[in-house]
Amino acid sequence: MAEMGSKGVTAGKIASNVQKKLTRAQEKVLQKLGKADETKDEQFEQCVQNFNKQLTEGTRLQKDLRTYLASVKAMHEASKKLNECLQEVYEPDWPGRDEANKIAENNDLLWLDYHQKLVDQALLTMDTYLGQFPDIKSRIAKRGRKLVDYDSARHHYESLQTAKKKDEAKIAKPVSLLEKAAPQWCQGKLQAHLVAQTNLLRNQAEEELIKAQKVFEEMNVDLQEELPSLWNSRVGFYVNTFQSIAGLEENFHKEMSKLNESLNDVLVSLEKQHGSNTFTVKAQPRKKTKLLSRLLRKKNSDNAPAKGNKSPSPPPDGSPAATPEIRVNHEPEPPSSATTGATLPKSPSQPAEASEVAGGTQPAAGAQEPGETAASEAASSSLPAVVVETFSATVNGTVEGGSGAGRLDLPPGFMFKVQAQHDYVATDTDELQLKAGDVVLVIPFQNPEEQDEGWLMGVKESDWNQHKELEKCRGVFPENFTERVQ
């Protein structure tokens, strides 16, 4: 019997919940169709919008904070591995080994302490802050359901009130069947029964309306007070959270800087003891350009013309032939003109430098002639001939082509500036001699195929400001000896 009773109660609750859902669904449909009015509270709707915005921002902050903590942990692991590597390579007879090991231990402890404090003072506070949102969100949804119940009860009561007069008229005039079937003394009792039944339905509707209104207003009042307070609390929470993170990070970096300073002192003492074994920065070896340059000089020395046959000087910067572009023509040409020292015929678009270098005129020392590569390739029967065409022109006193177009204070084709971090001693005539601190204006290679990996073409800023002659000042230099500054 107890089981049946419990099952009956459960079945009754289920039936009641189903009936409520059907009533709410019907009420919502009528409201959407405009056949029933809906109770609205614009102030509360604004509070709900603020609540949803606050929840979205808090969830995003929690996600980003967890990502930050994961990055701190990953950085801790990387720092730990690096310190372990330092301990392994630090030989026992080197001075400062114990100090380096102690610094590595303190470094590990500092990372652990930083991560734990972030968890305690930021992440846990963030979790507590967001922990109150699910409950309030469910209460907002429940308040919405109770509002629909209130509207439904209100509409039902209003419909009974509207039909009151119609019902009373029907009761005052019994139907003809009752008049014929029932005796005269029974008709009064029938009318009294119908009136009592109608009043009972109206009283029940009124009670349901009062009950639904009471439940809704209780929840509505609580949320009306709680939501604005929660919205205003976000400012203090954000300030406290970011202040904690900023303070922890500041202290962490202060302590870490002290450890790094101590480690630097240990390494300086090691360097002083083994000063003769100082590591020097070396440039990346050149291959293609240096080989072609040597071939060109050797070929020109063998086919040097007479003293009276002097080649014309290179055109000034800004002229159409000042910055030629070298294009490789894969159609082979007869090698006889190059090997016998005869002058190659000039094409309309070919500058004078390229044809004369190919004919045997040796370029000036320390300068990289535009046709240098073209002459070396044309001199060998196994290499393809080249066609040299100009790609820049002077228009109204400004140079066009390249990123430095229109700027007279920079060389044609200027790309960016670099500053030498180490001294570099040139090992070839087409290389720049650099001192630490020299600023170099980087320009493109006339032929991109001549550029070796790790080398750049440029002109020292001091030489350019003094001479303004690109042909005499430019040269190649190793990129790893410099650092980009602009």
Per-residue pLDDT tens digits for 155-166: 877 777 776 655
Which of 246, 273, 300 lies at the terminal end of a domain, its last residue?
Answer: 273
- Identify whether residues 174 and 190 lie together within a single domain: yes
In a domain, 10, yes or no: no
- Identify whether residues 228 and 313 lie together within a single domain: no
Q: How confident is the model at residue 263 (pLDDT cuts 50, 70, 90)?
A: very high
- Identify whether residues 262 and 336 lie together within a single domain: no
Task: Give mean pLDDT, residues 89-111.
Answer: 93
Q: How confident is the model at residue 25 (pLDDT cuts 50, 70, 90)?
A: confident
- Identify whether residues 354 and 433 lie together within a single domain: no
- Mean of pLDDT over the chain: 73
Q: What is the pLDDT of residue 196?
A: 62
Q: How confident is the model at residue 132 (pLDDT cuts 50, 70, 90)?
A: very high
Task: Give mean pLDDT, residues 123-131.
Answer: 93
Q: Contact, 386 vs 374, CB < 8 A?
A: yes
Longest C-alpha distance within the chain, in Å?
A: 154
Task: Give mean pLDDT, residues 291-316.
Answer: 46
Q: How confident is the model at residue 379 (pLDDT cuts 50, 70, 90)?
A: very low
Q: Which residue has the higher pLDDT, 328 or 429?
A: 429
- Identify whether residues 195 and 313 lie together within a single domain: no
Number of residues in the chain: 486
Name which of 24-33, 94-103, 395-404 the model is least confident about. Answer: 395-404
Q: What is the pLDDT of residue 166?
A: 59
Q: Which residue has the higher pLDDT, 402 or 172?
A: 172
Q: How confident is the model at residue 403 (pLDDT cuts 50, 70, 90)?
A: very low
In this predicted structure, the answer to whether residue 326 has a pLDDT above a threshold of 80 is no
Which of 238, 273, 308 lies at the terminal end of a domain, its last residue?
Answer: 273
Q: What is the pLDDT of residue 352?
A: 39
- With a pLDDT cut of 70, the percent of the chain lying above it is 60
In this predicted structure, the answer to whether residue 422 has a pLDDT above a threshold of 60 is yes
Which of 395, 430, 448 lies at the terminal end of a domain, its last residue?
Answer: 395
Q: What is the pLDDT of residue 292?
A: 53
Which is nearest to 153 in space by CA: 220, 221, 213? 213
Q: What is the pLDDT of residue 374?
A: 43
Q: What is the pLDDT of residue 22?
A: 76
Q: What is the pLDDT of residue 168?
A: 54
Residues 428-455: pLDDT tens digits?
A: 888 998 999 999 999 999 888 888 888 9
- Identify whether residues 388 and 451 lie together within a single domain: no
- Check residue 417 and give left, alpha or beta (phi > 0: left; psi -120 to 50: alpha): beta
The highest-confidence range among 1-15, 66-80, 190-204, 392-406, by mean pLDDT, is: 66-80
In this predicted structure, the answer to whether residue 337 has a pLDDT above a threshold of 50 is no
Domain CATH code at residue 218:
1.20.1270.60
Q: How confident is the model at residue 274 (pLDDT cuts 50, 70, 90)?
A: confident
Q: What is the pLDDT of residue 149?
A: 83
Task: Give mean pLDDT, residues 342-349.
Answer: 39
- Identify whether residues 240 and 338 lie together within a single domain: no
- Identify whether residues 118 and 132 lie together within a single domain: yes
Q: How confident is the model at residue 144 (pLDDT cuts 50, 70, 90)?
A: confident
Q: What is the pLDDT of residue 187?
A: 54
Q: What is the pLDDT of residue 392?
A: 39
C-alpha dihedral over 173, 175, 181, 182, to 10 degrees?
-30
Residues 42-62: pLDDT tens digits?
A: 888 999 999 999 999 999 999
Q: What is the pLDDT of residue 145?
A: 87
In a domain, 4, yes or no: no
Task: Give mean pLDDT, residues 357-365.
Answer: 40
- Identify whether residues 57 and 161 lie together within a single domain: yes
In a domain, 21, yes or no: no
Q: What is the pLDDT of residue 164?
A: 61
Name which of 28-32, 57-61, 102-106, 438-442 the model is least confident about. Answer: 28-32
Residues 225-255: pLDDT tens digits?
A: 999 999 999 999 999 999 999 999 999 999 9
Distance CA 438, CA 460 (A): 7
In a domain, 280, yes or no: no
- Identify whether residues 207 and 323 lie together within a single domain: no
Domain CATH code at residue 425:
2.30.30.40
The highest-confidence range among 88-92, 161-165, 359-363, 373-377, by mean pLDDT, is: 88-92
Its domain, for residue 447, covers 401-484
- Identify whether residues 240 and 344 lie together within a single domain: no
In a domain, 208, yes or no: yes
In a domain, 29, yes or no: no
- Identify whether residues 294 and 420 lie together within a single domain: no
Which is nearest to 376 in space by CA: 456, 291, 308? 291
